Chains A and B, each alone.
Chain A
Amino acid sequence: MIFFDRVTKIYPDRSLALDQVSFSVEKGEFLSVVGHSGAGKTTLLKMILVEETPTSGSVFLNSTDLSAMGRQHLHRLRRKIGSVFQDYRLLPNKTVFENIAFTMEAAGRSDEEIASDVPHVLELVGLADKIWNFPNQLSGGEKQRVAIARAIVNQPDILIADEPTGNLDPINTFEVVQIFKKINDLGTTVILTTHNKNVVESIGRRVLTLEGGRLVRDDNHGRYVL
């Protein structure tokens, strides 16, 4: 489904973020990417969203070379990928309902679908009672759950999450991981980056380990080893 073919990324300041990284991800997999800060985890996810393009090598999604994709077509690709960020990145002037509805509107979904799906997905992440709140009226854990709801509402093929538990306490971390597992059980491919050992071990699935931009381990039932 996703294939990284000898991907190298060097930023304009000459820092090496990824060095000859190759791996593939199959449909329905749950992949954790671990590594220290600066190991290249976020860059790797940015390549899938085409926020960054490789300096050399290629990233393929279902045989489409993402780096060859025109900017004007990116929105179609991104509608197939749900994304969750460490800093939530909710739209501050929109309510919880509007934040999630925006993603559906952008995908051209009807008003009726929006009215029925948004409360449903909020129920799934346990936030049905916060539907009319603004982001600044929510706790960190709640914000992250809204971000997850936004990421999955269009039933994407892939869900990518960049340090989704980085700002959360252990209880919220546990809840968020359970939501990701549930989403993966429903057939969505999940790729998440983290440096939280407990998260990786509670998931118990495939783990990629990055060090200084190089892929140093790829374990199918991996543990957090650094």
Chain B
Amino acid sequence: MLTNARRIVRSGFINFWRSGIVSLSSVVVLVTTLFVIGGLYLGQAFLNDSIQAIKDKVDISVSFQPYAVESEVLAYQKQLELQPTVAKVTYRSREDELADFKERNKGNALILQSLEEVGNPLGARLNIQATDPSHYESIAKYLNQDNALTTDGRDLIYTVNYKKDNIDRLNALIAAARRVGSAVVIVFIIISVLTVFSTVSLAIHVSREEIAVMRLVGADNRYIRGPFIVEGMVTGIFASLLAMLILYPAVIWASQAASAFPESLDLVGYYLNNFATLFFLILGSGLILSAVASYLAVRKYLKV
């Protein structure tokens, strides 16, 4: 048993080496496939990160009455943070709001002068981010129905700012991006797998006479198939290493291209931080694809 395994492994390595140009072309095709798989993995990360960045920019803001005191607003913030659909609540004081308002209107002397006269007319504000954009509607409903009052019985909330159309559009955009992303991944993976399968089939087709001879001299199917599977796995290992090597400069290039988009994912950092995961994904795909393709291709010629 062990002797057979040793002979099969040795034979697989020798066949890979001696098949020369056939092995090289199998490696090249598999490198392309694994490069696509690695690219799709990084592309999905980029897409998810971009979607998250857009989601983070969306929120519902609640403006409070100018007479609402800070402790009442902070208590309301705590109450909101307990909601399961709420991811984050940011507090902005009356002073922050005033400073922002002045900054936005710094060219308008009339407004600035009016402010000097009336003091700070603005209330504090809470910016609420939902765990998912689809939850904004229910949060807005809750805020509008919740008649929060100050300690002396007056309305606490001045207005709830919720741009339903924008959020609905964003939800549709995110869903479409995810659908397109998934479709692209599925299509590319199918194309890649088929390409590998046909290349391996072609490579083994060259050896169909040899397989027939092996059967005729009394070799059993396992002993014939084994070296081809090992050869496929060796192809997978070489192709994985090359794909990882080629992916690095490609990631640097893509990262530079993506830097035009503000706050885009640092692809090089992501590649380096997830190197092990990516490597095992590519190596695993390479080994499984080529071994399964070899197994199936040899099976066709074992009927002698």
A residues sitting closer than 8 Å to B (CB atoms) are 49, 51, 71-72, 74-76, 78-79, 83, 89-93, 102-103, 105-108, 110-111, 150-151, 154
Stretch at the interface among B149-157, B214-222, B259-267: B214-222
The answer to whether B217 and A150 have CB atoms under 8 Å apart is yes
Question: Which of chain B's residues have a CB closer than 8 A to the CB of A102?
Answer: 214, 217, 219
Are B216 and A91 within 8 A (Cβ)? no
Q: Answer whether A83 and B3 are a contact pair too, CB < 8 Å, given A51-B304, A89-B209, A93-B18.
A: no
Q: In the complex, given contacts A83-B216, A89-B209, what are 11 additional A-B residue pairs having Cβ atoms less than 8 angstroms apart?
A: A75-B215, A75-B220, A78-B217, A83-B217, A89-B213, A93-B14, A93-B210, A105-B223, A106-B223, A107-B218, A111-B3
The interface residues of chain A lying within 8 Å CB-to-CB of B215 are: 74-75, 78
- Chain B interfacial residues counted at CB < 8 A: 21
Distance of B30 from chain A, by nearest CB (Å): 20
Tell me the B residues contacting A by CB distance below 8 Å.
3-4, 7, 14-15, 18-19, 209-210, 213-221, 223, 303-304
A74 / chain B contacts, CB cutoff of 8 Å: 215
The answer for the CA separation of A108 and B215 in the assembled complex, in Å, is 14
Docked pose: A107 CA to B19 CA in angstroms: 25
Assess whether A106 is in contact with B217, with CB atoms less than 8 Å apart: yes
Report yes or no: B210 in contact with A91, Cβ–Cβ below 8 A.
yes
- Residues on B with C-beta less than 8 A from A110 are 3
Alpha-carbon separation in the docked complex, A120 to B261 (Å): 74
Shortest CB distance A46–B (Å): 10
- Hey, which chain B residues are within 8 Å of A89, CB to CB? 209, 213, 216
Chain A residues with CB under 8 A of B18:
93
- Let me know if A79 and B218 touch, CB within 8 A: yes
CB <8 Å contact, B218 and A93:
no
> Can you report 7 residue pairs joining A to B where beta carbons are below 8 Å apart?
A75-B218, A76-B218, A83-B217, A102-B214, A108-B4, A111-B3, A151-B217
Compute the total of residue contacts between A and B using a CB distance below 8 Å: 54
Q: How far is the CA of A99 from the CA of B7 in the complex (A)?
A: 14
- A90, A92, A106: the one within 8 Å of B219 (CB): A106
C-alpha spacing A192/B4, complex, angstroms:
33
Shortest C-beta distance, A45 to chain B (Å), equals 11
Contacts of B221 in A (CB 8 A): 72, 75
A75 contacts B219, CB within 8 Å?
A: yes
Q: A51-B304, A89-B213, A92-B210 are in contact. Are A78 and B19 (CB under 8 A)?
A: no
Q: Which residue of B lies closest to A88 (CB)?
A: B213
Q: How far is the CB of A157 from chain B (nearest CB, A)?
A: 12
Report how far A21 CA is from B221 CA in the complex, Å. 32
Contact A78 B214 (CB under 8 A): no
Task: Name the contact of B218 in the complex, choosing from A51, A91, A106 (C-beta under 8 A).
Answer: A106
Complexed CA–CA distance, A91 and B14 (Å): 13
- B17 and chain A: residue at smallest CB distance: A93
Asked if B216 contacts A106 (CB within 8 A), the reply is no
Q: How far is the CA of A151 from the CA of B216 in the complex (A)?
A: 10
Question: Hey, which chain A residues are within 8 Å of B4, CB to CB?
Answer: 105, 108
Which residues does chain A contribute within 8 Å of B15, judged by CB atoms?
A: 93
- Closest beta carbon of chain A to B298's beta carbon, Å: 15
- Residues of chain A within 8 A (CB-CB) of B14 are 93
Cβ distance A52 to chain B, nearest Cβ, rounded Å: 10
* Contact in complex: B304, A106 (CB < 8 Å): no
Would you call B214 and A106 a contact (CB within 8 A)?
yes
Contact of B217 (CB < 8 Å), options: A51, A93, A103, A111: A103
Q: How distant is B57 from chain A, measured CB to nearest CB, in Å? A: 61
Do A106 and B220 have beta carbons less than 8 Å apart? yes
Nearest-neighbour CB distance to chain B for A161, whole angstroms, equals 13
Residues of B within 8 A of A91 (CB): 210, 213-214
